Structure 1
C-alpha cells in the first residue's frame, strides 16, 4: 500500500519551509516512526517520521526545494521492508543516503545522520566512539549530543586525544579559496526582520550601568545551597535580570506593549523572550508568565531552552509570542552594544560583560564589577522618560536584590 509522505502542517506564522535533508533514499527500508526528512522553516527544523514500516519508493521534493504546508514530499510503500533488505545489501547506498565516518576498529563504518556528522565535527567527536541508537546502528544527533556532554564531564586528560581531529584548518595556508554555502532560512529570516525593524521603527537606545557586586556576593553565598535545594539547577545572573525586568515592566507598561496597526496593545502579563545562540543562528524562546516564576524556575527554563537550541529541538510554540526580550551579549565578551528590537515588541534589553572599573563611592575611588545595560526601544510608543525610568528601576532592583523579595 502506497503512503504519501507530506510536509507537516505549519503554524499561521510560517508560510512555507525548505527540504533540508533526506535521511532516506528511494529503495531504502524504513521503520515506523523513523526519521525520513527534515523540513527547515524560518524558526525551527521540523522532522517528518515514517507512518509505517516499508520502503521509500519516490522522492517528489528534493533537498533545497520550497514546500507548503501539507505538500507531497515523497511516497512510501508500506510492508515492503523485508523485500528491500536484500537489494540494499547487494547494492551500494547512494552517496546522499547516509554519510559515513572514518572506518572503525572492526572495519565497519558508522552511519551518521547529516546533522550528527556536523555536530561531531564541530565538537571534535570521533564518530567511531559514539554508540548509535538509530535504525541499523545509525548515529543520531542525540547520540552525538550525549557524547559531547560526556566529553565535557570527563577528565581533561581523557579529552586530549580527540583534540587533533578538531584542529584541522578549513583551507590550506596560502590558498585564495572561497567557500559558498546557502544561508539557512532561520538566518535569512533573522536578517529580514532586523532590516524591517530598523526601517519601520523610530528606534533609539538608552544606557545605564549596574554595580553587580551585591548579586555576585548573593550568588556566591547561596549558589551551592540553591543547586542542592533545586535538584541541580544552578543559580545564574539571568534569573535576577528576568525578575527585575518583570517588575520594571509592571511599573512601565508601555515598554511591555506592542503596536498593531494604529492600535497600542498593552499586555497584562510578562512573557520574556531570552535570546539564545545556536548553530543555525539566534533564536528567542519565551518564558511564559515570567511574573509567576521563581528564580529556580527561570534558571531551569533557560537551561532547558539552551539544551533544546543545541539539539535543534525548540518548537515553534516555544519561540512564538513574547512581550519583551533580553539578550546577553556579555557571555561572548561584549562590553557595549545597541540591540535591535524584535517586532512586534517595542523594546529589548541588552546585557553585557561584567568589567571591573574604578567608581566614585562616597568620595572614594572603589573598584567595582560593573555592567552596562542597553535598552533599545520604539520611540513611536515609548518616550525617553519611560525608557530611562525603566532602566533606573532595573538598576535599583539589581543593586539591592532584597527589593525584589520585598516588592519595593
Structure 2
C-alpha cells in the first residue's frame, strides 16, 4: 500500500513522469548496459533492445503500476505482477538485481527530468513505488522458485535434443530429455513456456522463451521454434533476424545439449476448468504452440464440453503442427476446428479465407477463451469475443515478447 503522502505526490507528478517515461527507460537501459555490459550480453534480449519493445514495455508497466496504486490504494495489480514474475523466474532473476535496476533507473529519472523537478519529496515517493513493485515481484518469484525446487542460479539445467522435426520452412520442433534423468524435473501445466539459453558466435549467452508444444505426461518435452526473420518497417527502420531462433535452426541437431529453464507462464488451463465449461483456443502463426499443449491435454482428459479451435495462418504449408491440430481436435467428443488462411489451397471454404473472423462461428455460452498470437490478432479476437458475449474475465492471452498490451491496459 502506497503511503498517503507518497500517493499525493505520485498523483501530482504522474503526468510529467508518464510523459517522459519512454525517454527515462531509454536512458536507463543505456546507462545500465554501459556500466554492466554483461547484462545485455547474457540476460536481456538484444533483439528487443534494438527494436525498442523492451523499453516501451518497461515504461508502460511502471506507469501502469503507479497509476493502479493511486487509483486503487487498497489493491495490487497482481495479474500484471504475476506475468512479469513468471518471465523473471524463467530467466533466473535474483533479488539483488533489483538494486542494480533501481540505481540506474533513478539516475535516468533525474537526468531526464532534472533535479528541480525530482525534489527529495518526489524522489522518495517514486522510490516507494519502485520498491513496492520490486518487493512484490521478489516475493512472487521466490514462490515460483520454491515450487520448482530451484534457486535463481540453478534455474537452467542441461537437456539433450532427442528429436528434430522440420514442421514448415520456418518452424522446427525440438524434442528434449533431461541430460541427468536421475534428478526429477519440475512439472508443468499446459500452456507454459521454458527459457532456452544458447551461446552465440560472439560469446553472448542469449535467452529466449518457447512454449512447450506437448501436454504434460510425456517423458519427452517439446518446443517448436519459429525462425524470426528481419523486416523493414514502414518508418524506414529495420528489425534484425532473431539471434537465438537462427542459431537453433542452423546449428542444433539431435544429440546436442541445450540449457533449459524450469517451466513458467500464467496462460494455463485454470484449475477450476471442469468438464461442463466450453473452451475456445484461438491462435495465429507460432502462437499455436501453447494451444497445442492445451488441446492435447483436453483430448487426453476426455473433455466433454464443446471445444472451439481457431487458427489463422499465411497458408496451410506455413501452419506448424497442423496434423496434430487436426488429430487432437478429432479426439474430442464435441469439438470443431476453423483454420483461416490468407493464401488457402484449392477447395478451402471461402468463409475461412483471410483473417480470423469469429462472427462466423457459434460460441457457446459460458466459454472460456485462450488466445496466443501477434498483438493485432489478439486485440481483434478479444473484441469479437466480447461482442459475442464472452465475459472479459474469461478471456486469457499470451504475448510472445514484451507485453505491450498488458502494460498499456
Larger radius of gyration: 1
More helix by share: 2
> For this structure pair, what is the TM-score category when the shorter chain's length is used for normalisation?
under 0.3
More strand by share: 1
TM norm structure 1: 0.27
Question: Which fold has the larger relative contact order, with Cα–Cα distance below 8 Å and residues 6 or more apart in sequence?
Answer: 2
